[in-house]
A and B are shown apart, each in its own frame.
Chain A
Amino acid sequence: MGILRYFIALWASKTVFKLLRLLKRNATMYPGYVALKICPDYLARTKKSPNVLCVTGTNGKTTTTNMVADILAQSGMRVVSNRYGSNINTGVATALTHSVNIFGKPKVDALVLEVDEKFSRLIMPFIKPDYLIVTNLFRDSLKRNAHPEYIFSILDTYVPKETKLVLNADCLQSSQLLKENKKVYFGIDKLDSDVTECVNIINDFSICPVCDEKLKFNYLRYHHIGNAYCPKCDFKSYDADYRLTNIDYENKTITVLHHGKEDVYPMVNRALYNIYNELAAISLMSEFGADLDKVKEYMHKISVTQTRYNESKAGKTEIVRTLAKGQNSVSCSRTLDFVGHEKGERTVFIMLDDLLERKDSSEFEGWIFDVDFEFLNTPEIKQIVLAGPRCYDYKVRCLMAGIPEERILCELDELKAVELMDKDIEKLYLLHDTTTFDLACELEEKMKVAFSKAYKGGEQV
């Protein structure tokens, strides 16, 4: 009976997928939803591909998953990934449907899955990953993820003991996961920009988990990312098996040391959080037994997806559109850190409201008070444009960060803000949320027109 139900679910899922594609609909979640509705143990029953590689964590999941899937696909493997779809149980079920034929036999060599950390409870025990990257664990959307300790307990409980972990040695939180599992760690050596006292508002791992003493840091990168020890007991950070020993921004390369051998890889993206993602992907590929010389070649062809980062030009202004996940104060702080430390005179346009909540509710803006707007308090940033219904909350936050009021433009209507902003600027950073991606693209087009008009014939009009 169970087998019959499984096959009905599989065939229904495949049919629904085809129908939705005929209707030109995004068929990433619903086929899996149907499968799980008919057969609740669909994830457990589906025969898995020979290799199941998963990525979870608070930030960097999508970028890392895409890198791993791209590398394996370039190596000639047949890969199914949920890269364009949902990372919860229904999205994973959809990916499983694609990974088997109508007789339920695996038809691909590898499943590469991004797994939502909170939904791990409903996914990990059933798909039993061979390898799992945990990129990091930070606080995220409070209503969905509560707090990092809660998410930690989910992963610690539901990831199978047989799964080999690839963990971030520099993340004090996630590096403590699953003491019994086999694992390797990756980490980035001390950087010139590192400090020993936290400058961020959030540090969710500042005291020793053993004795409550304040931790000391050999180096601290951001939030609780760094290398720490307890001055009172034996607690300390784990040593990295894959150590990133050099970042060469000029030649766009990174150097990774493993078992005494250094390898140089192309740098996919210059933002430090993306360098962590790349290092995680390289570490997994090495553990997986991939030819690392080939991995270097493949890395040349990889770029961070355009929904997350894009550069364009209008008049004399270079427009950088980049994702700064709303309701995720750490992700957003990382983006502000990146933008704040770039060089040259620039404008930052911030539109991070949650469009879905805006439709029929009101967004909780508490998270923005955990974001390090202090990074934007530099005279090189000539104007900060705060657009959307929560713009006055953002303004208060900017004022608390010491940003002079005259540098702030506050406008409830995003499109009107484009009209009002200064156009005489070399570089513009447009920061958007996942829910405001389409609106950001619309604004980017409007900006291109406005900035081109303002700069005719090589001169500012």
Chain B
Amino acid sequence: MKIEVLYPEICCLFGDKANMRYFEMCLPEAEFIKTPVSEMPRFLTEDVDMVYFGSCSESNQERILSRLKDHKERIEALIEKGVIFLMTGNSFEIMGNYIEKPDGEKIEALGIVDFYSKRTIPQRFNSLFLGKFDEMDMVGYTSRFSHSYDIKEKDAFMSATKGYGSFKDAKTEGIRRNNLYGTYLLGPFLIQNPLFTKYLCEQLGVKEPEIAFEKDVMKAYEIRLGEFKKDIKFIC
């Protein structure tokens, strides 16, 4: 099993790095390839089972787009083939049609999923999140300078119960196509959502997966879920 972590030196804001550190502990047999920004992604030339992108700054998002824009067809083909793409924080915005800057300038994105994103710097949006994916309660946190719009229902990752979805009042959160999962939730998403982590392991072919430190990860998840289901402040 081969998992490529793209540009970990710049796609690592807000605790996102912990996702693949933790996933390595869940899948000790898997090979994790960490591709720096100075190199071309390995998935362009070889088969991988999963690709991970974490949160990055706005200028690094543009840097990544300039690197990947010539490889749209390959990325699209991998997604159609069922390769897992997990994208946390603002990283999934590169899959849309364009990203609009506060001055109105539009940065062309990969155009793989039909939506667009709009930056609002310096206005920042912070929110807890409670939603559902495939009957699983999903929890997390978003903190960002942008929203994404026009995501079709068939392309949405999760339903949003409380907190910001893809935009302020959106009923869905993130994007999904086959095994591409993009979410604005950031930080240790896989640690916060152990049920989804198990699901991902199953998608990768692991039968009855056991995740690392399961007892304590589940306990932390249950405590958080209990708090999120109470009447607490979500927008902060």
Interface, chain A (partner B; CB < 8 A): 139, 142-143, 146-147, 149-150, 201-203, 206-207, 212-214, 329, 357, 360-362, 364-370, 389-390, 392-393, 395-396, 399-400, 410
Across the interface, do A139 and B13 meet the contact criterion of CB distance under 8 Å?
A: yes
In the bound complex, what is the Cα–Cα distance between A212 and B58 (angstroms)?
16
Confirm or deny: B216 has a beta carbon within 8 angstroms of a beta carbon on chain A. Answer: yes
Contact B187 A361 (CB under 8 A): no
- Any A CB within 8 A of the CB of B213: yes
Could you tell me the dominant secondary structure of chain B's interface residues?
mixed
Q: Is the CB of B227 within 8 A of A362?
A: yes
Per the bound structure, the CA–CA distance linking A232 and B60 in Å amounts to: 20
**Is B57 among interface residues, defined by CB-CB distance under 8 A?**
yes
Q: Does B51 contact A (CB under 8 A)?
A: no
B18 near A207 with CB under 8 A, answer no
**A364 touching B143 in the complex, CB below 8 Å, given contacts A396-B220, A399-B213:** yes
Given contacts A212-B37, A361-B236, A400-B25, contact A392 B188 (CB under 8 A): no
Q: Is B199 an interface residue (CB 8 A)?
A: no
Q: Which residues of chain A are within 8 angstroms of B228 by Cβ–Cβ distance?
A: 362
A143 touches B15 (CB 8 A): no
Known pairs A143-B143, A361-B236, A364-B143; A393 contacts B220 (CB<8 A): yes
Q: How far is the CA of A365 from the CA of B145 in the complex (A)?
A: 20
B236, A142: Cβ atoms closer than 8 Å:
no
A366 in contact with B234 (CB, 8 Å): no
Whether B232 lies near A361 (C-beta < 8 A) is yes
A-contacting residues, B121-160, CB 8 Å? 121-122, 124, 126, 128, 141, 143, 145
A139-B13, A149-B57 as given contacts; A392 in contact with B18, CB under 8 Å:
no
Find the B residue at minimum CB distance from A139.
Answer: B13
For A207, list chain B residues within 8 Å (CB): 9-10, 36-38
Closest residue of chain B to A198 (Cβ to Cβ) is B9
In the assembled complex, the Cα of A153 lies from the Cα of B228 at a distance in Å of 35
Q: With A369-B187, A389-B223 in contact, do A147 and B37 touch (Cβ < 8 Å)?
A: no
For A395, what are the chain B residues with a Cβ–Cβ distance below 8 Å?
Answer: 216, 220
The answer to whether residues A367 and B14 also contact, given A362-B224, A362-B228, A399-B213 and a CB cut-off of 8 A, is yes
B186 near A366 with CB under 8 A, answer yes
Query: Which residue of the partner chain A has the closest CB to B222?
Result: A392
Proximity bits, B1-43, A CB within 8 Å = 1, else 0:
0000000011011111110011001000000000011100000
Expressed in whole angstroms, the minimum distance between the Cβ of B20 and any Cβ of chain A is 11
B219 on the interface (CB 8 Å rule)? yes
Chain B residue nearest to A370 in the complex (CB): B15
B38 touches A213 (CB 8 A): yes
Does B191 have its Cβ within 8 Å of any Cβ on chain A?
yes
Interface string of B225-236 (1 = CB under 8 A from A): 001100011101
Pick the most buried of A329, A360, A393, A396: most chain B CB atoms within 10 A of its CB. Answer: A396
A147 contacts across to B, CB distance below 8 A: 13, 57
A214–B228 Cα gap in the complex (Å)? 41
| Residue pair B57, A150 in contact (C-beta under 8 Å) | yes
Known: A142-B13, A142-B14, A364-B141. A400 touches B232 (CB 8 A): no
13 contacts between A and B (CB under 8 A): A142-B14, A149-B58, A213-B38, A362-B228, A362-B232, A364-B141, A364-B187, A366-B186, A367-B14, A367-B187, A392-B220, A392-B223, A396-B217
| Interface flag for B59 (CB, 8 Å) | yes
Chain B residue with the shortest CB-CB distance to A144: B124
The number of chain B residues with a CB under 8 A from chain A is: 46
Q: What total of A-B pairs shows CB separation below 8 Å? A: 106
Tell me which residues across on chain A come within 8 A of B9, comparing CB atoms: 203, 206-207, 214
Distance in angstroms from B217 CB to nearest chain A CB is 6
> Would you call B216 and A399 a contact (CB within 8 A)?
yes
Partner of A357, one of B10, B38, B121, B236: B236
Q: Please, which residues of chain B bring their CB within 8 A of the CB of A213?
A: 38
Q: For chain B residues 57-72, which have a beta carbon within 8 Å of chain A?
A: 57-60, 63
Report the nearest A residue to B194, measured CB to CB: A396
Using an 8 Å CB-CB cutoff, how does the interface string of B68-80 with A read, 1 for contact, 0 for none? 0000000000000
Residues of A close to B186: CB separation below 8 A? 142, 366
CB distance from A429 to the nearest CB of B (A): 23
- By the criterion CB–CB under 8 Å, are A396 and B213 in contact? yes
B191's nearest neighbour on chain A, judged by CB, is A396
Given contacts A142-B13, A203-B9, A400-B18, contact A392 B219 (CB under 8 A): yes
User: In the complex, are the beta carbons of B236 and A143 less than 8 A apart?
Assistant: yes
Shortest CB-to-CB span from B83 to chain A, Å, is: 26
Name B14's closest neighbour in chain A (CB-CB): A142
Q: Find B124's partner among A143, A329, A370 (CB 8 Å cutoff).
A: A143
Complex-state Cα separation, A395 to B216, whole angstroms: 7
Q: Which of B15, B60, B121, B224 contacts A368 (CB 8 A)?
A: B15
Closest Cβ neighbor of A389 among chain B residues: B223
User: Smallest CB-CB separation from B24: which chain A residue?
Assistant: A400
Closest CB-CB distance, B28 to chain A, in whole Å? 13
Give the CA-CA distance A368 to B21 in the complex, in Å: 14
| A393: chain B residues within 8 A (beta carbon) | 191, 220
A74–B145 CA distance with the chains assembled, in angstroms: 45
Q: Would you call A369 and B17 a contact (CB within 8 A)?
A: yes
Could you give, for residues 108-128 of chain B, a 1 whenever the CB lies within 8 Å of some chain A CB and a 0 otherwise?
000000000000011010101
Closest Cβ of chain A to B130, distance in Å, is 10
Closest Cβ of chain B to A260, distance in Å, is 39
Chain A residues with Cβ below 8 Å from B187 are 364-367, 369
Chain A residue at minimum C-beta to C-beta distance from B220: A392
Inside 8 A of A357's CB, which chain B residues have their CB?
236
**Which residue of chain B lies nearest to A394 when distances are taken between CB atoms in the complex?**
B220
**Complex interface: chain B residues within 8 A of A206 (CB):** 9
Say yes or no: B17 contacts A366, CB within 8 Å.
no
CB distance from B205 to the nearest CB of A (A): 24
Closest residue of chain A to B67 (Cβ to Cβ) is A212
- In Å, the complex CA distance between A319 and B170 comes to 50
| Chain A minimum-CB-distance residue to B125 | A143
Q: Given contacts A147-B57, A207-B9, A400-B22, is CB(A366)–CB(B15) below 8 Å?
A: yes
* Besides the known contacts A361-B128, A361-B234, 9 further A-B residue pairs in the complex with CB atoms under 8 A apart: A142-B13, A146-B145, A207-B38, A212-B38, A212-B63, A361-B232, A366-B187, A396-B220, A410-B216
